[in-house]
Each structure stands twice: as C-alpha cells, then as structure tokens.
Amino acid sequence: MVSYLAAIFAEEFCMGVPGFFSKIIESWNRSDRETDALDERHSHVLKLGLFLAAAIVLAFVFIPVFIQQMRNWHNYAPEFAIHKGDWKVLVTPNLNCAEGDKGNCPASPENPVLWQSPLTRADRMHAQRTKNLRGKDFWVGVRVESALLKKAAAELANHLVLGRFNARYEVWIDGEFITGGEGRGEAAPFVMPLTTTRMKSGRPLFVAVHLFHSYGHFVPDLLNTNAGGEGLISRYSANVFYGVMSFWSFTRPAAFFSAYFLLSLLFLYIWFSAKRDQEYFYGALYLLISSFIQLRTLDVIDITKNLDLHFQLGFILEAYKGFFGLLLGMSFARTRQKIFQWIVPAFLLLPILCVFLFTDAMETYKYHDLVRMWATPSLHLFGAILCFIQALHLGQQGQRGNYLPVRIKRLWLFGGVLSVMAVFYFFYAYTMVIAPSTSQLLSLWLGAEHFFLVLFLGHLAASEIRHKSVLSHRTPISEYHQLDPMPTSVQGILLVLDLKSSEVFFKHRASREGSTSMVSVWRSHIYTLAWQYGGIVVYKKGDEVAILFDSAKHSRPLMNAVNALKEMTQESDLLERQFQGKGQMPANAIGCRFRAAMVKAELRPVWEQIGETREPSWEPAAQGHAFDDIEELFKFEKSADKTGRQTMAVIPAELMTELQSGETSAIHPIAELSNSSLKVFIPGIPEGAAA
C-alpha cells in the first residue's frame, strides 16, 4: 500500500515539475513593456551612473596603491651606488685565471693590472672600444671601499646588484670564482647576496667580471646602466628591484601585446562589417604591428642569443609601424586605391630587402635607431598632413554646396592625433641622444601612445554604429530582418486591413495638387496602433496593411489583435469625422471604412532583390498559406456586406472558439466590437450570432 501511494506521488510530482519550472522561467522573462523601457533616457542615465560609480570607487582604491609602488620606478637607483667611472676596464685579451695562479689572474687583488687600469666604463671611447673587441674577451672590475661596505652593512644593504650581461661572463669576488653564465639567455638580472661579516671586515671588496664578446651586442657590459646603476641594496629593495624588472621586461609588454592584439582583431571584425571603411583595416594592421613590437621586448624573446634575427625583427617592425601609420592617414583621407596598390607592396618588401644588406647586428641596430628617430615620426606626420589637406579641400567644396562638417571635423581630429604621435616620437628620439634621463621618463609612455589612436578609432566606430542603429530604428525594417541569421518561422496572428473605396481618395489627391493623401494618413494611424499593441507591419501597399502579432512575444496574440482591431475601428471613425469637419472628405467617399480579416499564420522574413537594392519582405513559411486564407475570408466579407459601406471583420470560427475559451473578462471582446461601428462576420455562423 505504501509503495503504491509512493508511486502515485512520484508520478504526480514528475508531471508537475515541468509546469512548475515553466512558471518560474515565465516569471523571470522580461516583458515587452520592460524591453521598451530599456530605450528610455532614465534607464541609460542609471546604467551610466552605475558604471561611473564603480569606476570611481575602484580607481580610488587601486590607483593610489599603484602610484605609490611605481612613483620612483623610472629612476630606480641602489641605496649605495657604485659609479660608472669606478669600473676599470682591461682590454688585453686572453688574460685568464688558471687554477693556482692567482698572481697572474686579473681578478686577484694582488694583481694591479685591472685595478690600476687607466680605462673606465665612463670613457667616451668605451663603446667604440668594446665594439672592436667582438670575438675576444675583456675584463671589467671595481674596488668597493670598506667605508661604503660598512655603511651598507649597517643598513642591511648586503645585496650586490650587477644587472645584465650581453655576453658570456664569469663573476669573481676577491680573486675567487663565484659563478658564470650565458648572459643573453638569462631573464633575471644578476643580484648576489654578500655576508655581513665580509662587509664589516674592514677590507675593500674586489668585484671582477670576465666577459666573452661572442654575441656581437653593441653593449656587452650593459650591467645595470638602464635600471639605475650598480650598487648595494637591502633585501627589501632587492624584491622591489625584481618587481621593477619584471614589470618592464614581462608585465608591461605582455599587457600591451595582449591589448593591442585583441584590439587589432576587434577592428578587423569591424572592418568585415564595413568593408568600405579602409581605416578600420589599416588600423587593425597598425595595432597588429604595435602588438608584435611589444612582444619583441618580452623578456623570453628579448634575451635570445640570435642577435642578428632579434635586431632584424626590430628594424622591420619599426619600419612597418611608420609605414602603416602613413597608410592609416592615407586611408582616412580616402586616397585613391591605385596609390595603395603600388605603395603597400613596396612598403612590405623594402624593410625585408634592407636587412639583407646589413653586415652584422650592430649595423642593423644603427639603422633601426635611424628609422625610429626620423622615419617613424616623419611618416606619421605625413599621414597627418594628408588628413589636413583633405579637410581643407572639403571645406572649400562647401562653398559649392557639398559641405560635410562631420567628415571635416573627423579629419582634423585624426590628423591631430597622428601629429601628436609624430611629435612624441621626435621628442623621444631627441631625448635619447641629448637627455637620457628624460628619455627614461618618456619610456614609461612609449607604447601607450597607440591607445589615443585606439580611442579615436573606437569613438569613430561607435558613432557610426550608433548612427546606423538610429537609421535602422527610423526605417520600416522589422527587427527580424536585422537578425543574423534571420528566423525561418515566426508564428502568430495575422491581421489584414483593406480600406474600402480607396480609389476615390487617390483620385481626389491627384486632382488637387499639394493636398494631403488621406490614405497615407489612415495608414500612419494604423501603423501607430499596430506598434502600440505589439504588432509588426509585414505588408503595406496602397490601401492594404498586414500586421503580425508574434506568439513568442505575446502570451495571447489573438487578444492583442482583437484589441488592436477595436482601436483601429474607433480611430478610423474619428479620422473620418476630422476629414468631414475640415471639408477634406471627397463628396462621393463612403468614409474611412475598411474590411479586416485575421488568421493563424506562420511567416518568415526574407529579402527581395530589386535591381541593385534589397527590400525587406515576408512570405509564408513551409506549408504556410496565410495570405491565401486571408483572400478567402475577404470573399466572405464581400458576400456579407452587400452595400460595401460597412466596416467589417471576418474572424474564422476556430479563432472565435479560442477567444471565447480563454476569455475571463466581464465584457466579451466580440461584444465590445459589436458595440462599435465594426461588424463581425464568422463564416459558418448566422449573422448576429457572433456576439
């Protein structure tokens, strides 16, 4: 007995679960009224306010912490610095340290050959001197005085910062070999802890580095020149130093690469939807090149031992950045396509051909610097000039009536963006030679300048999308035709209205030039009421209008259609009285009377090709015959209205049954219709029995 009751309960429960979940889903679904409310201004203001509030709160929390951590990163320096002029240089090759022969080892404190060398790393000829040592070895060393060591030990600054080596190296301390490495293959800078006992011993510290100039880098003994110099730091400062190096060599380039690469894909996607706007395509290419420039500086790639390939890629990418900056300006100025067909292949091939003419990595880097200092800013500036020239030309065209103020404004703005970028590149290149400290400060922003370009192009794309959206809302194209892909079937109730004796109105309009088209006025009122009741105008021609009430959007589309029909009848009567009151009604017109019919329909949106244009249209879906059913119902209407002067609606019996079965209101909708000037006819039911 218990098992029997349990089985019955389980069966009822399982049958009730789908209905229960359906009610939950329906209660969560957004209504049509709520959807329409999303277009209201207060909804937009609230959303924008929410976004700004969240951005301000998060910025208030995170930005001060970020600034506090980064405020000294561009000029980071050790607490106890070892000056560049204190580093001695020994260029005599093949002075190696054999085991047990400390007297002849240049790293030995007893051997003065390195410690008393007249050459230093601060010499003006040091760069040229080391350049000529390619394929050979040389030594650099420094004597750290005991007074400095004691001060550093008192501050717990017992970490020796040497930085990076662009050559194979050996590190010697006090004549003892400590460690060695490949140099170019190491991502982290060299930082070595010292014992406080050694630092407090009262003896100077002898630090020597044996370098093997095999990679061909123009600065084999770079050390920590670009990151504040060498010296002694505390453990805390060492962690900060690692953070600084990680930010510059990994976090920053990885973030810029990811951002620019994704933005390039975004602009390429925008170009696919607007292929005539070539600036989006060249903007995508420009951002793609910018992303790979950042990728090249990523530590895992920057430390490659193949310097020839590394500098060749740098030269090509830098040249492409300038070239595509010019092409971007040309595309925005809408330069002739034939010019692009010649220039683009030349721009793509020229840098690749040049790298084959360079003899070594140093020569490649020299020309890379020339391109960065002169070609890149000049090409950006030339692209800006083209935009300015086009803006001036269009301004002069305005004197002949062809004035495009929005286009002119955008040309000036885009040319201004390219000009600012060109000035920034010129100034950065100038400070690299004249004021290296200022150049280091500017390097904080190098790479970020492309975001200004992205902001402008993004604003341009957003404004065009918004403009197209406004146009699509103003054009009589249903939302179904704007979907991709379009639905294959839309089910609902099809209501068709046909204005009677419309020929009289058309002849009246033709005989009076400049008079109002009363048929157009009637149709516009019908369109408005159809929209108010959630209908879609699927057909309009002359005096006939077809409206579809989608069952997927309305729980009772038939009731929407009946209520709309009642309102349309009252509106037509009111319009008729207005025409008569103004004396605009033709003498032989019967008024704004119409015939109407409604059926269940299954339609699908299509595009019809008419010449070179496409027009939105609707046709019956598979196995559908709604328009044929309407024609049959109109035949019943003509037989029922012998005079042809009555507003009449033909409703099939099956729809009437469905309407009556679902009606719970005190006043029956058909009774309401009958109380108006509309006469309802139901095929198969005697006249007058409908109500």
Over residues 158-199, the pLDDT tens digits come to 999 999 999 999 999 999 999 999 888 788 899 999 999 999
Within a 13 Å sphere around the CA of 47, how many CA atoms are in the beta-carbon half?
8
The architecture in CATH of the region 490-681 reads 2-Layer Sandwich (3.30)
Task: Choose the weakest-confidence range: 209-213, 335-339, 574-578.
Answer: 574-578
Distance CA 401, CA 253 (A): 50
Closest residue by Cα to residue 123 from 87, 153, 98, 176? 87
Helices (H), 360-449: 361-370, 376-397, 405-434, 436-442
pLDDT of res. 23: 67
User: Above 90 in pLDDT, residue 215?
Assistant: no
Closest residue by Cα to residue 605 from 475, 479, 481: 481
- 409-464 pLDDT, tens per residue? 888 988 998 998 999 888 887 776 666 656 666 666 777 777 777 887 787 777 76
Secondary-structure class of domain 76-233 per CATH: mainly beta
Reply yes or no on whether the pLDDT at 690 is more than 50: no
Contacting residues for 593 by C-beta, under 8 A, at least 6 apart: 499, 500, 501, 572, 645, 646, 647
Q: Is the pLDDT of residue 587 over 90?
A: no
Strand partners, 539: 546
Does the fold of domain 490-681 match that of domain 249-472?
no
The tens digit of pLDDT for each residue in 15-50 reads 555 566 666 776 677 766 676 666 677 778 888 889
222 against 7, higher pLDDT:
222
**pLDDT in the model for residue 410:** 86
Q: Between 505 and 94, whose confidence is greater?
A: 505
Tell me the pTM: 0.66
- Strand ranges in 551-691 using DSSP code E only, listed in sequence order: 594-610, 613-620, 648-650, 679-681
- pLDDT band of 202, cuts 50, 70, 90: very high
Q: Where are the domains of the chain?
A: 38-71, 76-233, 249-472, 490-681
CA atoms of 118 and 114, how far apart (whole Å):
9
Host H or E run for residue 348: helix 337-355
At 666 the pLDDT is 34
For the domain 249-472, what is the CATH code?
1.20.1070
Interval 221-225 mean pLDDT: 89
**Phi/psi at 179 (5° precision):** -165, 170
Q: Is 212 helix (H, G, I), strand (E, B) or coil?
A: strand
What tens digit of pLDDT does each residue of 274-327 get?
A: 788 888 899 999 999 999 999 998 888 888 878 888 889 999 999 999 999 999
